Amino acid sequence: MRKLSSIFLVGLCVGAIGAVAVTIGHGAAEPPKAIAVTEAVTTMSESPEASSPAPTPTSSPAPKPSPKPESKVDAKIDAAELDRLVPGGDVSVVVFDRQAGATIVSVHADRAYTSASLVKLLIALAVLEQGGPVAQVQKMLSHSDDDLASRFWSAYGGPAIVTGWAKRIGLTGTRAPADPGRWGDTRITAKDVVRIYQYVVAHAPGAILAALRAASERGSDGFRQYFGIPDAAGGRPWAVKQGWSCCRPTRMLHTSGLVGEDDRYIVAVLSEHPASVDYATASKRVTAVVKALLG
């Protein structure tokens, strides 16, 4: 079984909040509804760190604690090991180290999946380039608001958003939906998701990354969006766009975004599960995949 080479370091940092995605296709032109899903998962809570007590005036200065070593991410993880974490389904993983300028993990990178709400990244690029409403674009991303996505899809080009930006960014495995009203049926690959983030970091308005950093724990429809990268980050900073859809005929669940100090790593994990696997279980499996990468 093929091994993926190198080990990279991720700096420990402050955790944040996360994002998700859903796909429903309806808007101003009232196209057919896209895949709609909402299932409750347990809520994640945060607790503040306790501060260290200050030394008394008579005590000698306390020695500074030694800096903790950076957490290691296993870039040599076996592809078969990742497959085993998604029994009965498929998983694709690409991790790009921006500091090294290299892809350090690549598993089934060109396998195509239904994008679900990951296509909202392309919708956001199209709307902002044409002078659309920034605040609404940010809400579409951070709350994964499908009504806004449908309105933007109808008003800013529909399938041409996908074909145009795929050509511009160089997305080789991305295809517009066969049904022009179902934006969530766009086809995409993990390799292409990484390319989108490379473009966003280098060229897109800062409003997009700000929205991904400020993603709400639950989307507009109530679905919990902290599976995958947010739940597995372990104190590392992150900015994410998530995606899920069901069931034509399978269940999709994707986590993607930036992880680490200075947005060092771009991580894309796309997964497909049998419809019999509920979202709570699929979410845990995707989180386990990211944990296997992040250590």
- The fold of 9-32+73-294 is Beta-lactamase (3.40.710)
Q: In tens digits, what is the pLDDT along the chain, a chain of 295 residues?
A: 434 333 332 332 233 333 333 333 333 333 333 333 333 232 223 333 333 333 333 344 444 444 433 544 556 788 999 999 999 999 999 999 999 999 999 999 999 999 999 999 999 999 999 999 999 999 999 999 999 999 999 999 999 999 999 999 999 999 999 999 999 999 999 999 999 999 999 999 999 999 999 999 999 999 999 999 999 999 999 999 999 999 989 999 999 999 999 999 999 999 999 999 999 999 999 999 999 999 7
The pLDDT score that the predictor gives to residue 291 is 96
The pLDDT score that the predictor gives to residue 24 is 33
The pTM score is 0.77
Number of neighbouring beta carbons within 10 Å of residue 212: 27
Cβ distance 195 to 169 under 8 Å? yes
Nearest to 252 by CA among 121, 84, 112, 151: 112
Give the dihedral sign, CA 275/281/284/289.
Answer: negative
Domain layout of the chain by residue ranges: 9-32+73-294
What is the rounded distance in angstroms from the CA atom of residue 218 to the CA atom of residue 237? 18
The pLDDT score that the predictor gives to residue 90 is 98
The pLDDT score that the predictor gives to residue 194 is 98
